[in-house]
């Protein structure tokens, strides 16, 4: 493996959740096509932002990449390990190298475990410490690292605020010294004042440990602040992916353009003068997504072939990927 090989490579990832009927004899009557043919890669030390509206499949991508949901098709490679076929020791290696920070800091911590047990779990599972004392020391070190007092080691999650709980989740994710961390909307459940703290913490940790992030979010300004590259998702497919500034300054896909025009601007004069791309209608159901381009029903620039042919996911130059017939 060379240095230029990306840390994470996802090719043609498909995740369908079957819809079944019947009690004794289950038959599949349909599928929620949560993720359909998604391809991207993340270089070492990079932060890829994954944005899109609620229900577009961002979280499913994250969970499927880690193998928490079995993928329907496609290839996922993390640091040379194939996630879909990994078993035993190789799977444990992936679990150690790739970690996840969850969206809801209230649901992602076991309410009956102390902070010490929660943060120490990866150390215990992967047998990273020789004895109890070493583990305790390491847990305290991790707590300090994320800005929690080690004195609170025997407290329970409900005794903490949302921001502190998210720090516990971050400490847990870092315990096994991972290379790759999926941040699944880690700040969307927090107060705005706390969001900045957590984002800064994530940045510091990335710098310190050379982490690679997949940052899932719907807050576009936060993504712009944090990410090197940004991928935009719509109804289970990627529509555009490029360097951060390129996405924000010269978006090619009509969906990206409309998404960006919806970002609030603090200056009312700029806000009034700027062109808004308003979309018609609602996001179609992923159970029965439209044929051709999934966006064509709402696209202001749609033409005849958009309804029949699915646009290819291609590099239009300089690592700017887009899936649109009009580009």
Partner 1 sequence: MSDTTEALSAIPQFAADELEAPPLSLRQLAWRRFRRHKMALFGAVMLALLFVYCFGGALWVSEDYANYTDTKARLQAPSVSHPFGTDTVGRDILARTIYGGQISLIIGLTAMLVELVIGVLIGALSGYYGGWLDSILMRFTEAVFVIPQLFLLIVMAKFFGGKVPNLTLLGRTFSGSVVVVILIIGATSWVYLARIVRAEFISLKEREFILAARAIGTPARQIIFGHILPNSIAPIIVSATLSVAAAILSESYISFLGMGVQAPTATWGNMLEGAMNYIEEAPWFWIFPGTLIVLTVLSINFLGDGLRDALDPRSRVV
> Is the CA virtual torsion 324, 298, 301, 266 positive or negative?
negative
Query: CB of residue 22 vs partner 1: minimum separation in angstroms?
Result: 11
Residue 126 or 224: which CB sits closer to partner 1? 126
Q: How far apart are CA 83 and CA 64, in angstroms?
A: 9
Q: What angle do CA 103, 108, 109 make, to 5 degrees?
A: 145
Asked whether 185 and 233 are in contact (CB, 8 A), the reply is: no
Query: CB of residue 93 vs partner 1: minimum separation in angstroms?
Result: 9
Q: How far apart are CA 145 and CA 5, in angstroms?
A: 30
Residue 113 or 248: which CB sits closer to partner 1? 113
Q: What angle do CA 17, 23, 25 make, to 5 degrees?
A: 85
Residue 73 or 86: which CB sits closer to partner 1? 86
Q: Around Cβ 326, how many Cβ atoms within 10 Å?
A: 15
Query: CB of residue 136 vs partner 1: minimum separation in angstroms?
Result: 14
Could you give the residue ranges of the DSSP H alpha helices within the chain? 58-65, 88-97, 115-125, 132-145, 162-174, 192-209, 220-226, 244-249, 254-261, 268-273
Could you say which residues in the range 93-132 bind partner 1, by CB under 8 A? Answer: 95-96, 98-100, 102-104, 107-112, 114, 121-122, 125-126
Query: CB of residue 102 vs partner 1: minimum separation in angstroms?
Result: 5
Residue 58 or 298: which CB sits closer to partner 1? 58
| Residue 157: φ, ψ to 5° | -50, -35
Under the binding rule (CB under 8 A), the answer on residue 212 touching partner 1 is no
Under the binding rule (CB under 8 A), the answer on residue 176 touching partner 1 is yes
Q: Around Cβ 196, how many Cβ atoms within 10 Å?
A: 14
Q: Cβ-count burial of 96 within 10 angstroms (0-12 exposed, 13-18 middle, 19+ buried)?
A: middle
Residue 92 or 136: which CB sits closer to partner 1? 92
- Looking at 73, 75, 128, 152, which residue binds partner 1 (CB under 8 A)? 152
Query: CB of residue 151 vs partner 1: minimum separation in angstroms?
Result: 7
Under the binding rule (CB under 8 A), the answer on residue 172 touching partner 1 is yes
Q: Which residues contact 176 (CB under 8 A, 6 or more apart)?
A: 95, 96, 97, 99, 122, 123, 126, 128
Site string for partner 1, 44-83 (x = CB under 8 A): -------------------x--x-x---------------
Residue 174 or 299: which CB sits closer to partner 1? 174
Under the binding rule (CB under 8 A), the answer on residue 158 touching partner 1 is yes
Under the binding rule (CB under 8 A), the answer on residue 169 touching partner 1 is yes
Count residues contacting partner 1 (CB under 8 A)? 36
How is residue 278 annotated by DSSP?
Answer: P
Q: How far apart are CA 115 and CA 323, in angstroms?
A: 45
Which listed range, 90-98, 129-137, 216-224, 250-258, lies at the site for partner 1 (CB under 8 A)?
90-98
Q: Cβ-count burial of 69 within 10 angstroms (0-12 exposed, 13-18 middle, 19+ buried)?
A: middle
- Looking at 54, 154, 288, 308, which residue binds partner 1 (CB under 8 A)? 154
Query: CB of residue 170 vs partner 1: minimum separation in angstroms?
Result: 12
Could you say which residues in the range 1-30 bind partner 1, by CB under 8 A? Answer: 24
Query: CB of residue 14 vs partner 1: minimum separation in angstroms?
Result: 20
Binding site residues, partner 1, CB under 8 A: 24, 63, 66, 68, 91-92, 95-96, 98-100, 102-104, 107-112, 114, 121-122, 125-126, 149, 151-156, 158, 169, 172, 176
């Amino acid at each position: 493996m060379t240095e230029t090989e990306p840390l994470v490579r996802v090719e043609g990832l498909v995740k369908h959740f079957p819809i079944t009927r019947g009690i004794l004899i289950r038959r599949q009557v349909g599928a929620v096509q949560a993720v359909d043919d998604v391809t991207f890669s993340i270089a070492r030390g990079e932060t890829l932002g994954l944005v899109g509206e609620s229900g577009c499949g961002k979280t499913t991508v994250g969970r499927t990449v880690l193998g928490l949901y079995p993928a329907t098709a496609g290839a996922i490679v993390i640091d040379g390990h194939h996630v879909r076929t990994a078993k035993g020791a190789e799977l444990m290696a992936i679990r150690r190298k790739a970690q996840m920070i969850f969206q809801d800091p209230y649901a992602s911590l076991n309410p009956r475990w102390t902070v010490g047990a929660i943060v120490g779990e990866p150390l215990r599972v992967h047998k990273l410490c020789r004895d109890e004392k070493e583990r305790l020391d390491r847990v305290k070190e991790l707590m300090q690292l994320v800005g929690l007092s080690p004195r609170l080691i025997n407290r329970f999650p409900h005794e903490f605020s949302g921001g502190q709980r998210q720090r516990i989740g971050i400490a847990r994710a870092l315990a096994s010294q991972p290379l790759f961390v999926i941040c699944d909307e880690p700040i969307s459940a927090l107060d705005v004042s706390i969001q900045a703290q957590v984002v800064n913490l994530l940045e510091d940790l990335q710098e310190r440990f050379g982490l690679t992030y997949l940052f899932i979010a719907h807050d576009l300004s936060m993504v712009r602040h944090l990410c090197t590259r940004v991928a935009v998702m719509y109804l289970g497919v990627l529509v555009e992916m490029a360097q951060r500034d390129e996405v924000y300054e010269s978006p090619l896909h009509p969906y990206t353009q409309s998404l960006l025009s919806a970002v609030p601007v603090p200056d009312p004069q700029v806000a009034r003068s700027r062109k808004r791309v308003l979309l018609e209608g609602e996001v179609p159901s992923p159970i029965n997504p439209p044929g051709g381009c999934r966006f064509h029903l709402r696209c202001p620039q749609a033409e005849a072939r958009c309804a029949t042919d699915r646009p290819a996911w291609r590099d239009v130059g300089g690592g700017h990927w887009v899936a649109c017939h009009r580009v």
